[in-house]
Chain A
Amino acid sequence: MATLPRTRPRNRRLVSRNTVAGWSFILPNFLGFAALTLLPVVVLFYVAFTNWNVFGVAEWTGTANFRRMWDDSSFWTALRNTVYYAVFHIPLTLAAALGLALLLNRKLRGVRFFRTIAFFPYITSIVAIAVVWNQLFSPEYGPINALLGAVGVDSPPGWTASATWSMPAVIIVGTWRYMGYYMLLFLAGLQTIPAQLYEAAETDGASPWQRFVHVTLPGLRTTTFFVTVLLTIESFKVFDLILVMTGGGPGQSTLVLSQYIYQKGFEENQFGYASAVSIVLFGICFGITVIQFMVNKRRNS
């Protein structure tokens, strides 16, 4: 993108013309976005400093919610679990989605069919997913442990029925469910890479791996950036999948921040505190996103 010198006076008119043009593009979306998302989010920031029970008037309590959070061991457990999930889920899903997209970005017979199949985990009812995976993981009767037993694993893991293994189980299912979603984005990104680049690389005698590293990956950079940001945020916000898979248990072994927010808000009616926890979750996601933006910017220039 061409950089415009900022201070020259004759550009002032250009700036104001651009401002009008820019806003005219953004406005249709922004009106709806500002009224229906931004405004409630601003209210949320206010509520985080009150002890609101939803019904009455919110009473200002300053930073009390945040001080309470500091001493709340459940909050820290939820945070730790959320990070645990994200740290594994993000790279695994990224790799699986990219792998699927590369595999299915060719003119094979029936490729459309396979792509649809790859997207099925995302469209299948989440209840069915929880049921089937839980049964597959069932410690006593599940086929996964039967398989592990057959290859000589003495004490196979308890998966969703054990505090130690429930998170790995959830991560596996999370990756399985969302890889199709991100595959779709990678597929769109792959269409933007000019074929000449591949042809040129092939003429130069580049191996498939070299072509992948020197053509595909750089060509996918903006897509990868988008996918990483979105995937990071969605991983930190993970909610419904864990809710139906384990309900946060056993114990608190899979309790994540989003669920904790729901619990405090809707079950214990402490919306002020729940909002404060959301602000922290927001802060984490936002911080990481800003870092990703900065890294991306530096890499681009």
Chain B
Amino acid sequence: MTATDLSLPVPAVAAPGNHGTSARRVRSRAWRLLGYAALVLAAAGLLLPFLWMVVASLKTNNDVFTIPITWLPDPVVWRNYVDIWQRSDMTTWLWNTLLLSVIVTFLQVFTGSFAAYGFARVRFPGRNLLFLAYVGTIAVPWQSYMIPQFILMSKLHLSNTLWSIVAIQAFGAIGVFLMKQFYETIPEELSEAARVDGLSEYGIYRRIILPLSRPALASLALLTFTTTWNDYLGPLVYLRSPELRTIQLGLNTFISQYNAEYALIMTGSVLSVLPVAVIFLLGQRYFIEGVASTGLKG
């Protein structure tokens, strides 16, 4: 493996411009402060709806929508955070959603990156056509083929099981597409050198390509996880039993035909965002350190 190590590109660890003379440092500190100010301002704009969710979760149902918008709940209804656990199966919903998101993410990342290698690095007849079919299906709106798909799944006795969600989400084309694009940025010479060393295609995939694609794998994993976590239409169509509900589906049960418990819905939404935020915070280390550390291991 030494041959391959030498030709590895040293990746960008940070954007340039962090080191220089002291005059430049002063200027760069001013810029940095300005940058922070801009970031804080932008962050406020990005977080506003989330803040509203938190505020709404502390109101009574009929105080949630008002003219004009009120940013301070009066009275503060902390009870919502107790009620939601007592009046709903939040634990079941969260558990189901977590289970689904993890399985789907694993399968999508694994099969997607595996298939992408076939598309990016192995030449065989019909490859481009097949790839076009993959990309093409992204362009078909799901709500237009979900009924044929649902009938099919019912025949397979998969509807109303958690497997149905796994089945429809895990083999999506986006993962294949994303990983293929990423693989194409990895220099072909790396694989060539490995072939000379006698590595099989599977070996190249596992020992060279996979470690190098950590940032892409991480972003695919995060995006898949979030999409599965927040999916509403899929679970709506496929799941019926209360014990199978996901968080988005479950929260919707607080709407009855004539009355909607918006405060509780927002309480649940706040709770449902937190796990994703934590996972996102943790998953990010792969964007900076990912490539840098694997480059040496090979």
Contact = CB atoms under 8 A, between A and B. Distances in A.
Interface in B94-149: 110-112, 114-115, 117-119, 122-125, 127, 130, 132-141, 143-149
Interface in A2-60: 2, 4, 15, 18-19, 21-33, 35-41, 43-44, 47, 54
A30 B143 contact: no
Nearest to A16: B124
A289 B201 CA distance: 29
Contacts of B67: 138, 141
Contacts of B281: 112-113, 116
Contact of B188 (A1, A126, A190): A1
B78 interface: no
B11 interface: yes
B93 interface: no
Nearest to B180: A226
A195 B269 contact: no
B111 A28 contact: yes
Contacts of B192: 2
A274 to B, nearest CB: 6
A135 interface: yes
B49 A129 contact: yes
A135 B69 contact: yes
A74 B78 CA distance: 47
Interface in A184-209: 184-185, 187-196, 198-199, 202, 208
A127 B269 contact: yes
Contacts of B133: 38
Contacts of B153: 36
A67 interface: no
B204 to A, nearest CB: 11
Interface of B is mostly: helix
Contact of A36 (B46, B144, B171): B171
Contacts of A198: 12, 15-16
Given A120-B277, A198-B16, A290 B132 contact: yes
Contacts, number: 303
B246 interface: no
Interface string A165-196: 00000000000100011001101111111111
Interface string B56-79: 100000000101110000000000
Given A26-B130, A112-B281, A286 B136 contact: yes
Interface stretch (A101-109, A156-164, A247-255): A101-109
Interface residues on B, range: 35 or more
A222 B182 contact: yes
B187 to A, nearest CB: 10
B122 A22 contact: yes
Contacts of B17: 208
A128 B269 contact: yes
Contact of A117 (B13, B47, B68, B177): B47
Interface string B223-240: 100100110110000000
Contact of A40 (B148, B222, B291): B148
Interface in B239-298: 265-266, 269, 272-273, 276-277, 280-281, 284-285, 287-288, 290-291
Contacts of B230: 123, 125-126
B216 A32 contact: no
Contacts of A239: 141, 143
Most A CB atoms within 10 A — which of B39, B114, B184? B39
Interface residues on A, range: 35 or more
A121 B52 CA distance: 12
A196 to B, nearest CB: 6
Contacts of A24: 118
Given A47-B148, A195-B12, A289-B139, A138 B123 contact: no
Interface in B163-190: 167-168, 170-174, 176-178, 181-182, 184-186, 188
A30 B201 CA distance: 19
Nearest to A35: B152
Nearest to B284: A112
A29 B172 CA distance: 8
Given A116-B277, A190-B12, A223-B181, A184 B222 contact: yes
Given A176-B45, A196-B10, A230-B177, 18 more contacts: A15-B123, A21-B122, A25-B115, A25-B122, A26-B118, A28-B110, A36-B153, A37-B172, A38-B133, A108-B35, A122-B226, A128-B269, A185-B223, A190-B12, A226-B178, A230-B138, A258-B141, A286-B135
Interface of B: 9-18, 32, 35-36, 39, 42-43, 45-50, 52-53, 56, 65, 67-69, 110-112, 114-115, 117-119, 122-125, 127, 130, 132-141, 143-149, 152-153, 167-168, 170-174, 176-178, 181-182, 184-186, 188, 192, 201, 205, 215-216, 218-219, 222-223, 226, 229-230, 232-233, 265-266, 269, 272-273, 276-277, 280-281, 284-285, 287-288, 290-291
Interface of A: 1-2, 4, 15, 18-19, 21-33, 35-41, 43-44, 47, 54, 102-103, 105-108, 112-129, 131-133, 135-136, 138, 141-142, 176, 180-181, 184-185, 187-196, 198-199, 202, 208, 211, 222-223, 225-226, 229-230, 233, 236-237, 239-240, 257-258, 261-262, 265-266, 271, 274-275, 277-278, 281-282, 285-286, 289-290, 293
